[in-house]
Amino acid sequence: MRTILLSSAAAVALSAALAAHAHADAFNRVASFPVNANIPGEMGQESESSAEIIDATEDGMMLVYSDSPLGGIGMIDISDPANPAAAGFVALDGEPTAVAVRAGHAIVGLNTSESYTEPSGTIVSVDLSSGEVAHSCDLGGQPDSVAVSPDGSLVAIAIENERDEDLDDGVIPQMPAGFAVTFALDGSAIDCDSRVVADLTGLAEVAGDDPEPEFVDINAANEVVVTLQENNHIAIFNGETGEIVSHFSAGAVDLDNVDIDEERALTFDGTLQGVVREPDAVKWLDENRIVTANEGDYEGGSRGFTIFSKDGDALYESGLSFEYEVAMIGHYPERRSGNKGVEPEGMEVAEIGGATHIFLLSERGSVIGVYRDNPEGEPELVQILPTALGPEGAVAIPGRNLVAVANEVDLIEDGGVRSHVTIYELGEGEAQYPTIRSMMDDAGRPVGFGALSGLAADPEQPGILYAVNDSFYAMQPTIFTIDANQTPARIIAATRVTRGGANAQLLDLEGITPDGEGGFWLASEGRTDRMIPHGLYHVNADGEIEESVAFPPELLAVEKRFGAEGVTRVGDTLWVAIQREWADDEDGFVKLVAYNTGTEEWGAVRYPLEQKGAGWVGLSEIVAHGDHVYIIERDNQIGAAAALKKIFRVPLAEMQPAALGGELPVVSKEEVRDLLPDMAAFGGYALDKVEGLAVDTNGDFFAVTDNDGVDDSNGETLFMRLGQLEGS
């Protein structure tokens, strides 16, 4: 038996935690703003645009973000945070690396370097009302992070003078060395003559003559903390004199039960010794403590965060706890296992809702870990929130109970999702996300999941569902048992699909339906160019394949790549939804293929697709209920381009299969539910892959999205409770 039962102790702990927070305030995403809405008309929507570092005006009504590829700063009107509006773009003479807002001006670091060996840059003050540069000071090097002191009297800049990653495999030292610099501020005016340089050479054990400052933050005493990421070092200096107050190695950690192989499976069973933290973002928690996001660079990355004293004592180390939480909500990036896992990179610290919170951004998992600080003990994980793709910077607006995150990845060249700024609000009520999560196993390791591609309901137990993952996890095909009677829905068991006792290979599971005897029929989408056969598989309750049914020659003779995308059982007949047109299909029609498990006969009917817009239109799921089969039909578009994510139904009376290879009857369909509003209710952009649909014994409908294993995806899995649909 290859079923992983989840830890009962962990289940009890989670239930207690959920109960404690059931009536507490929660952060929820209220809007996602596509930053391409700020692209000036003369530049064109095909231009790459990216929100990276973000700040807010003092009144909290406008967000300002740096846009490196577009070469300027963008502004967003958030007077109504649930309906953010484009507020313009200011082009600048250089590459903006960071932005901080003060007195109606954006303080922006601009990289003007001609080469790695001749770095240069400026710090400018941009009037947000006019878009004019009011002040500009030479930096003497290439800037990275920018921070303004709490009292507004200083601006600090990390001068990274970054290395050439293509030179000697990026190994440092590579001159010239970096440093940090401060200037006095008078409102928005930068006093160029007040320039103070903090010499950071000779501090680190790693390439001490070539410090590469990454991130700066300033406390109320005008002390500046700076991370030297590649040097695995942290320094604190007096912002008014440049004198070093303290410095120390960021240190290393040992990681046990970590996923270190990119083998297309979630296996948290490896060990890493002496992993250097190499922190990116750093923030002051109070006058004596700092917190770091340990993203790593070319030597390390410990996958979590650390709280240090000002003198360098490690007061708290998260270890793998953050990465585990990310895995248990389906956001773990398997293809980063051999590198730095979830890569905590950005961070914000703010007192909001009566407590100091740490907002930890996972660049690769596309989530925010929200922690409540506890100066006397360990920080408490409060929530994990979904972001758009590749969160880079964050800003809290405590006076409005808001948090905004800049998400840098723009997939315009691949026809994918654009860069977004996501906005969250702390308010009464329960957390909307995650919508589904798993638990620890009895060995204390997370049971990860992702790429949920098919859904089915238990024939007897209300709210008990089953899902399968697709070929992204080719070495770990799994049937997940889901208890949807809980909120969020909870994966309570993971049953591996096996062949001869070993995890089955050459499967791309896209559909599941109970066989009525405790087992399941599974539909696998074939790719003969990858030696993955099109077929149906009968598995027992333990997941062992007992029967394999290949598609018949009449189907294989006209096959195309996009095959079985769902399966449902009506008596002795299995109905399989074929996603897109095959070679013998008239444009705009796809097959619903029938296989009789008793007679072993094949047949099909034709299903009429909706009219194509951008991209293609096809089927994602089929499920029988009552007198109909219900079908998900969707386009392959994402974000603002998404137009079709709907449930239709076909009368079972019309499902009379004809022999393959001949004329097939055309069924009629009726629209039942547009799923775009259901997805919009979560405050994000429209996801492209709605792939699972099920109806339980109470007649309640459920739908789920496929997150592609977090590959070029923000990792969201939306498990949607649709209730009883009208007419069903």
pLDDT digits (tens, 9 = 90+) for 69-115: 999 999 999 999 999 999 999 999 999 999 999 999 999 999 999 99
Containing 13, the helix (H) or strand (E) segment is: helix 8-21
* Chain centre distance of CA 529: 30
For residues 135 and 145, is the Cβ–Cβ distance under 8 A? no
* DSSP at 318: -
Among 340, 357, 190, 327, CA closest to 279: 340
Burial (CB count within 10 angstroms: exposed 0-12, middle 13-18, buried 19+), residue 611: exposed
pLDDT band of residue 405 (cuts 50, 70, 90) is very high
Please provide the average confidence, as pLDDT, over all residues in the chain: 95
- Looking at the chain, the whole-number percentage of residues with pLDDT higher than 70 is 97
Q: Is 19 helix (H, G, I), strand (E, B) or coil?
A: helix
> What is the rounded average pLDDT of the residues 118-142?
98
Cα–Cα distance, 48 to 44 (Å, whole number): 9
Burial (CB count within 10 angstroms: exposed 0-12, middle 13-18, buried 19+), residue 662: exposed
Domain count, the chain: 1
State how far the alpha carbon of 163 is from the alpha carbons of 6, 111, 115, 156, 170, in Å: 46, 14, 10, 21, 7
pLDDT digits (tens, 9 = 90+) for 637-646: 999 999 999 9
Contacts of 500 (CB under 8 A, 6+ apart): none
Query: What is the pLDDT, as a whole number, of residue 16?
Result: 46
The CATH number of residue 549's host domain is 2.115.10
**Which pair of tokens denotes residue 537?**
């598989």
pLDDT band of residue 23 (cuts 50, 70, 90) is very low
Cα–Cα distance, 22 to 20 (Å, whole number): 6
Query: What is the pLDDT, as a whole number, of residue 529?
Result: 86
Contacts of 233 (CB under 8 A, 6+ apart): 203, 204, 205, 206, 211, 227, 247, 248, 249, 250
Containing 679, the helix (H) or strand (E) segment is: helix 676-680
pLDDT digits (tens, 9 = 90+) for 350-398: 999 999 999 999 999 999 999 999 999 999 999 999 999 999 999 999 9
- If phi > 0 it is left, if psi is from -120 to 50 it is alpha, else beta; for residue 133 that is beta
Does residue 610 belong to any structural domain of this protein? Answer: yes
Among 217, 209, 11, 196, CA closest to 98: 217
pLDDT digits (tens, 9 = 90+) for 659-707: 999 999 999 999 999 999 999 999 999 999 999 999 999 999 999 999 9
For residues 418 and 371, is the Cβ–Cβ distance under 8 A? no
pTM: 0.96
State how far the alpha carbon of 175 is from the alpha carbons of 133, 178, 207, in Å: 31, 8, 11
**Which pair of tokens denotes residue 171?**
């190994």
Query: What is the pLDDT, as a whole number, of residue 727?
Result: 74
Does residue 58 belong to any structural domain of this protein? Answer: no
Among 540, 553, 609, 557, CA closest to 581: 609
pLDDT of 11 above 50: no
Other Cβ atoms closer than 10 A to 59: 11
Query: What is the pLDDT, as a whole number, of residue 29?
Result: 98
- In degrees and rounded to multiples of 5, residue 608 shows phi and psi of -85, 125
pLDDT digits (tens, 9 = 90+) for 305-334: 999 999 999 999 999 999 999 999 999 999
Among 651, 653, 657, 655, CA closest to 670: 651
Q: Is 334 helix (H, G, I), strand (E, B) or coil?
A: helix
State how far the alpha carbon of 622 is from the alpha carbons of 454, 489, 522, 536, 564, in Å: 9, 22, 13, 15, 10
**Which pair of tokens denotes residue 231?**
């040097």
Query: In terms of residue numbers, what domain contains 525?
Result: 451-706
Among 623, 613, 614, 604, CA closest to 691: 623
End-to-end Cα distance, the chain: 37
Query: What is the pLDDT, as a whole number, of residue 728?
Result: 73
Does residue 495 belong to any structural domain of this protein? Answer: yes
Query: What is the pLDDT, as a whole number, of residue 19?
Result: 42
The CB-side HSE value for 45 (13 A sphere, CA atoms) comes to: 7
SS (H, E, C) 550-581: ECCHHHHCCCCCCCEEEEEEECCEEEEEECCC
pLDDT band of residue 7 (cuts 50, 70, 90) is low
Query: What is the pLDDT, as a whole number, of residue 561?
Result: 86
**Which pair of tokens denotes residue 551?**
């598609």
> What is the rounded average pLDDT of the residues 594-622?
97
For residues 181 and 195, is the Cβ–Cβ distance under 8 A? yes
Does residue 460 belong to any structural domain of this protein? Answer: yes
pLDDT digits (tens, 9 = 90+) for 449-458: 999 999 999 9
Q: In the block, which residue shows the tokens 């296992």? A: 337
Does residue 473 belong to any structural domain of this protein? Answer: yes
Q: What is the dihedral of CA 491, 681, 630, 635, to 10 degrees?
A: -110
Query: What is the pLDDT, as a whole number, of residue 209?
Result: 98
pLDDT band of residue 576 (cuts 50, 70, 90) is very high
Does residue 477 belong to any structural domain of this protein? Answer: yes
* DSSP at 378: -
User: What single-letter amino acid sits at 294?
Assistant: N
Burial (CB count within 10 angstroms: exposed 0-12, middle 13-18, buried 19+), residue 595: buried
The strand pair at 289-293 and 305-309 is best described as antiparallel
* Chain centre distance of CA 282: 22
**Which pair of tokens denotes residue 358?**
């740490």
* DSSP at 170: G
pLDDT of 28 above 70: yes
Q: DSSP string covering 585-650, please?
A: SPTTEEEEEEEETTT--EEEEEEEPPPP-SS-EEEEEEEEETTEEEEEEEES--GGG---EEEEEE
Does residue 664 belong to any structural domain of this protein? Answer: yes
Does residue 582 belong to any structural domain of this protein? Answer: yes
Q: Is 291 helix (H, G, I), strand (E, B) or coil?
A: strand
> What is the rounded average pLDDT of the residues 613-621?
96
pLDDT digits (tens, 9 = 90+) for 247-293: 999 999 999 999 999 999 999 999 999 999 999 999 999 999 999 99
Cα–Cα distance, 113 to 94 (Å, whole number): 9
With the C-alpha atoms ordered 712, 714, 720, 725, is the resulting torsion angle positive or negative?
negative
User: What single-letter amino acid sits at 153?
Assistant: S
Containing 10, the helix (H) or strand (E) segment is: helix 8-21
Cα–Cα distance, 461 to 465 (Å, whole number): 9
For residues 317 and 253, is the Cβ–Cβ distance under 8 A? yes
